[in-house]
Amino acid sequence: MPLLRDPTRSRGRLAVARTRIVRVVVRWRAGPAWKSGSPEQQTGWDEHAAFIDDLIERGIFVMGGPFADYSGSHTLLENVSEEEARELVLQDPFVATGVFELDDVRAWNVYVDKLARPQ
């Protein structure tokens, strides 16, 4: 059975799912200081990792990591608004060192999340 099909509606039309949570998607591009290789090989990795660990402990950082070609990265945040997320991520030490440049910050209405813990 399709995930968005509403069994209470006739003819199997898709129903609009209710948003369970609003998350924020952050897209990064490699900055001028990005060296060839993985994030762990970049200047300021330990400081960046500590920053991310803090966001995880605070229940803000959900998921993130570099693109396979290391041209940038995506970050998924929750429990913050789009504006709060923008201010917060600009505090990442990788921004100050020029490893990352902020590309985009957008609120995202999540309709389907197979990774979420059952409530």
Q: Which two tokens stand for residue 44?
A: 């300021």
Q: Enter the pTM of the model.
A: 0.79
- In angstroms, rounded to a whole number, what is the distance separating the alpha carbons of residues 17 and 79? 20
Give residue-wise pLDDT tens across range 41-84. Answer: 999 999 999 999 999 999 999 999 999 999 999 999 999 999 99
pLDDT for the residue 1: 37
Percentage of residues in the chain with pLDDT exceeding 90?
69
Rounded to whole angstroms, the Cα distance separating 81 from 72 reads 22
Nearest to 21 by CA among 85, 113, 118: 113
| Average pLDDT, integer, range 73-98 | 96
Burial class (CB in 10 A: 0-12, 13-18, 19+), 116: exposed
**Predicted local distance difference test score (pLDDT) of residue 111:** 83
Q: How many residues are recorded in the chain?
A: 119
